[in-house]
Amino acid sequence: MSYAEYDKRRRTSDGAIRLDNGKFGFVDLRAQQTVEHRPGSGWPRESESMGVMPHQVKKAMEVDRSLGVPTDYSEKAFPIFTSQGHQDRWVKANKAIDYGR
């Protein structure tokens, strides 16, 4: 079965997705595409793609501090980068890939 077929079987008529645990979830595509811009230089900025689950924020902050790149996280559990240098150091320390550079 292809992923498209699998996804089609999981979706209900109203667009909800039946999760593996039997509960239902909804995908908010508009929210996924929303980018919050702050006036000025663009810094600080939140990275939606590098976010963690809300219950992981404390551990992520500890890991970032231990890697030498102390980083705060937003209420949405997105890391807040204060400058391009801060983001570059965080990406390198966490062995992530920044496709925007």
Give the tens place of pLDDT for each residue, 36-60: 555 566 789 999 889 999 999 999 9
Give the tens place of pLDDT for each residue, 76-86: 999 999 999 99
* Total-model pTM: 0.59
Residue given tokens 């230089």 in the structure block: 41
30 Cβ contact list (under 8 Å, min separation 6): none
Query: What's the CA gap between 16 and 85, in Å, rounded?
Result: 40
Q: Annotate 67-89 with three-state secondary structure.
A: CCCCCEECCCCCEEECCHHHHHH
pLDDT of 12 over the 90 cut: no
**Residue ranges covered by each domain of the chain:** 1-34, 40-95
